[in-house]
Every structure is written in C-alpha cells, then in structure tokens.
Amino acid sequence: MDRLKAMQVFSCVASTGSFSATADQLDMSRAMVTRYIAELEQWLGARLLQRTTRSVTLTDAGENCLRRSQQMLALMQDIEEESTQHAGELRGQLRLTCSMSFGHAHLAAAIGDFLAQHPALKIDLNVNDMAVNLVESRIDLAIRISLEPDALLIARPLAACESVLVASPRYLAQNGIPNDPEALTLHDCLSYANFGKSIWQFHRGQDQRSVAVRSRFSANEATVLLHAALAGSGIALQPSYLVNPLLASGELHLVLPEWQAPTMTIYALYPSRRHLSPAVRALLDFLVARFHPAPW
C-alpha cells in the first residue's frame, strides 16, 4: 500500500465528509477510496471513520491520524518543492479560495497566466462567498474582500476595492435618476444579503450619509445582483472590478457618481508565515504585481 497516498485520500475524506466527493476530487473510483481507507485502518489497527448513510465523521483515532497525516503530507510537499527549487521549477498543488465574483472576473485569468509560467504546478480553486477555516480545509491561500481582515490570519493587501452604484438605462428611464442618496429610498435597490443589506453608507468629502434602502431583492453573491441590475430590476451597489467593462459598454450607468461607498481591500490571507512554500510565495508576489496598478 502507498501509505502517503492513503493519507492523502483519508485527509480528503475528512475534509469533504464524503467518499464520492473525494473520488471526484482525486479523480479515482469510489471503490479505490474505500480500499485506501480500509488498508489504512488495517495498517493502524484502528477505526478512523464513523460511516452512516448521511455522513462520515472522524473517530478519536481518526482525529489523531488526520493531524499526523496532514503533517506528513505537508512535509512531503516541502521536500518535493525544495528538491526542484534550485532548478527554478515549482511543483505540487496549491488550494485557493475566493469569492465567486472575483474568481469569475479576474482570478481565473490570473491563475491561468501563473500556471503558464509554472507548468509542473497544479492549483485547485474553491469558489465560495462563505468564510472557511483555512487550516481545517487545507487552504493555502484565500483571496477575500474586507474592511478588516481576520486578525488570526496573515493578510497581504493586493488592491483597493471600490464599490459604485449602477443601474441599467432601461431602469433609469422608467424610474428616474436619483439626485442624492436619500432619493434611493424611492427606488428598488438590489442588496447583498451578507453585507450592508438595509443600510448603505456614502460620503462626499466630509458629508457622510447612511441610507435605509428599500430592498425587495437580495442575494448572497454579487454576480447574481449584477445580472439583476442588467435585467432592469433595480439599483445595485457593485464592486468596480466587476462592472467597469459594462459601464464602458453602456450596458450599465453610474448612479450618484459624486458619492463614494466605503472602500474595502482585496487581501491574500494565509494561516502562517512559517513553512510558507516557495509556490505560495511565488503566487503571492505574482498577484501583488498583477493587481497593484489600477484600474485593472
């Protein structure tokens, strides 16, 4: 039995909670996943997983095995990377996570360009707007947009993220153009369910405004609200990185352009500076260089 491979399979099952999802993620049959787990349990002489028809959970022995397996896999990855570092070649696999809107708009293309420079490297991108535990999910790097990053993680700023009010020409022709933030209360506003759903903040110089908007349509993901705005459903507060091409084409128009929403920051987040692999360092430097000049 390839014990390192068995540890990889076991760690993936612990992360996904599913034999089928593990088989899909590792590109192997479900029967092979079952075989690796059975052989690992036989080798260790302990049951590692409690399996029911609905879930897979770790036993106490499984918790201990998972911790040691992750240490062994990390060590093996470090050895592989260090063995090729002198030749200037990055190897192994990185696991990233980011929001759906940023993944679609910019990160997918950035990853493609980075991989073209490092053909022996693999990247797995988890597109998810919900915060995940980087250690438990074995995520090497998270790209998140925030006013304040998680204080428990190392945060490297990549770029500023400005938000703008937008609406389709059809919506504005039918409903009029608001001339100040308070006028938004008379409009259909498309709000982000996880952030600032009812209260939108704006400033113009020293003038600060908080507006309780009327929102009959909210969603937990920015691109859904973007398509709703394109369809004429209302006024949306959108990240500029997502709407700039649509503003340039005239498919969307700026609303109250003299008023600014709070500027957030796009961060690259990772658990620790210790044992940061050459591949993660290289990707960090690549992303900083790519997103530093504005606009992009």
Instruction: Render pLDDT for 16-50 as a digit per residue (tens, 0 to 9).
Output: 889 988 988 888 898 999 999 999 999 999 999 98
State the Rg of the chain over Cα: 23
pLDDT for residue 241? 93
Helices 278-291 & 60-85, crossing angle to 10 degrees?
70
User: Is 163-262 CATH 3.40.190.290?
Assistant: yes
CATH fold for the domain made of 92-161+265-291:
D-Maltodextrin-Binding Protein; domain 2 (3.40.190)
255: left (phi over 0), alpha (psi -120 to 50) or beta: beta
Contact at 8 Å (CB) between 237 and 256?
Answer: no
Q: How much is the pLDDT for 81?
A: 60
137-169: burial string, b at 16+ Cβ within 10 Å, e else: ebbbbbbbbeeebeeebebeebbebebbbbbbe
Per-residue model confidence (pLDDT) at position 282:
94
Q: Starting at the earlier edge strand, list the strands of the sheet with 154-161.
A: 121-127, 92-98, 141-146, 264-270, 154-161
Q: How many CB atoms lie within 10 A of CB 85?
A: 14
CATH 1.10.10.10 segments of the chain: 3-84
pLDDT, residue 275, reads 64
Residue 217 and residue 169: Cα distance in Å, rounded? Answer: 19
pLDDT for the residue 271: 83
pLDDT of res. 295 = 64
Would you state the pLDDT for residue 83?
A: 59
- From the list 143, 145, 111, 14, the residue with the least C-alpha distance to 69 is 14
- pTM score: 0.69
Q: List the pLDDT tens digit at each of the 296 positions of the chain.
A: 688 889 989 998 988 889 988 988 888 898 999 999 999 999 999 999 988 877 888 999 999 999 888 888 877 776 766 655 555 678 888 999 999 999 999 999 999 999 999 999 999 999 988 777 787 777 899 999 988 888 888 999 999 999 999 999 999 999 999 999 999 999 999 998 866 568 999 999 999 999 999 898 999 899 999 999 999 999 999 999 999 999 999 999 999 999 999 999 999 999 876 667 889 999 999 999 999 876 66
Those residues whose C-beta lies under 8 Å from the C-beta of residue 84, and which sit 6 or more positions away, are: 90, 91, 120
Torsion of CA 288, 76, 274, 70, to 10 degrees: 100
The confidence score (pLDDT) of residue 193 equals 81
Residue type, 291: F
CATH number at 3-84? 1.10.10.10
Give strand pairing partners of 95.
Answer: 124
Give the H/E segment covering residue 84: helix 60-85
Side-chain half-sphere CA neighbours of 101 within 13 A: 22
| Residue 250 backbone dihedrals phi, psi, to 5 degrees | 85, 0
| The two structure tokens encoding residue 293 | 């000049």
CATH 3.40.190.10 in the chain is located at 92-161+265-291
Instruction: Give the pLDDT confidence score for residue 85 in this predicted structure.
Output: 53
Domain with CATH 3.40.190.290 in the chain: 163-262
